[in-house]
Structure 1
Amino acid sequence: MKKLLLFLFLCPLLAIGQQKTSDEDQIKAVILKTFSAMKSVDSVALKSCFTEKAVLQISQIRPEGNIVREVPIANFVKNVMTRKAGDMDERVLSWGPILVDHEIATAWVPYEFYLNGKFTHKGVDAFILVKIGEEYKIQTLLYNMQK
């Protein structure tokens, strides 16, 4: 009887853990799909990673102070499409925390960026994602760049 009660108590907790893992896997997949679409210069795949009103922001420290530039997603996609396949290679260095609450999530992703096979910078991508239907899409991508 004790084992049955323990089993009934733990089942919901196990289901929650499995859902979180599934969400984390989906979040990692959309981030990796974004990087892959950049590398392969695939505009359809790249656009599919973002919501319609997604925001891309770049934080840069300058002598006059920190600035944050905002780039429309359409401009970002257009810029990627000016490259040749393989020119852009963004690599995940590690997976930082991924936090999920119902339909929203955040992911902290340290990265390195290579252009034409040469290291240009590294930094952190801070993603805010929203679950639309059964899939996560990027709503906000804020990143910084360090030489």
Structure 2
Amino acid sequence: MRQLFIILFFGFSVSISAQEKTPNDSEQGKQIKQSISVFFDGLQTADTLKIQTVCHKEMKLQSIMEKNAIGTLSFETNEEFYKSIATLPKNLKIEERLLSYKIQIDGSMAQVWTPYEFYVNDKLSHIGTNSFTLLLENNVWKIVHIIDTRRKK
């Protein structure tokens, strides 16, 4: 009887903890996803003003280009990034499809991991993972750092 009680208690405890909300499902998680969504909506439409609404003024951008299992790190300033987006040819269609979100939150800091596929004119260009660091500033989650990997599929 005691063993049955322990098994039922353990099963009930696991069931309750499995029903707890994850950071992805929380209200803050939804707000973080919204900031990232605004960023990519602006990227897709080449709207740098829209992008800047969810980016910290001191945002850092880095990329790791992978070829033959060797990574090369590159840096881009905010100004370079915004200029590259603003000067995209009008006939160039870009789309970054985020495959999932893994969100971790500690107070006013969040870390988000998003595997993605990147398309140019509806053709798969490359794949990788984004890692975002965000800061909650004036009730808006602002992107302060992006580092991504890029590799051919």
TM-score bracket for this pair, using the shorter chain length: 0.7 to 0.9
Q: CA RMSD in A?
A: 2.3
Q: What does residue 88 of structure 1 align with? A: 94
Q: In structure 2, what is the Cα distance between the partners aligned to 1:110 and 1:21?
A: 20
Give the alignment's TM-score, normalised by structure 1: 0.81
Pair 1:133 & 2:138 matched: yes
Larger radius of gyration: 2
Q: What does residue 22 of structure 1 align with? A: 27
The number of residues matched between the two structures is: 131
State whether residues 54 and 140 of structure 2, in contact with CA within 8 Å, keep that contact through their aligned partners in structure 1: no
Give the alignment's TM-score, normalised by structure 2: 0.78
Q: Deviations over 1:124-143 (max 9, x none)?
A: 00000000010101000000
Q: Deviations over 1:63-121 (max 9, x none)?
A: 694221110122111111112276111111112x2000110000000111111221100
Q: What does residue 4 of structure 1 align with? A: none
Q: Which runs of 5+ in 1 are unaligned?
A: 1-16
Counterpart of 2:33 in structure 1: which amino acid? K
Counterpart of 2:93 in structure 1: which amino acid? D
State whether residues 40 and 85 of structure 1, in contact with CA within 8 Å, keep that contact through their aligned partners in structure 2: no
Equivalent residues in 2 for 1:66-77, closer than 5 Å: 66-77=71-82
Counterpart of 2:55 in structure 1: which amino acid? F
Q: What does residue 121 of structure 2 align with? A: 116
Structure in which a larger fraction of residues adopt helix: 1
Counterpart of 2:95 in structure 1: which amino acid? D
Equivalent residues in 2 for 1:95-106, closer than 5 Å: 95=101, 97-106=102-111
Q: In structure 2, what is the Cα distance between the partners aligned to 1:91 and 1:123?
A: 11
Q: Which runs of 5+ in 2 are unaligned?
A: 1-20
- Change beyond 3 A, Cα 1:85–1:109: farther
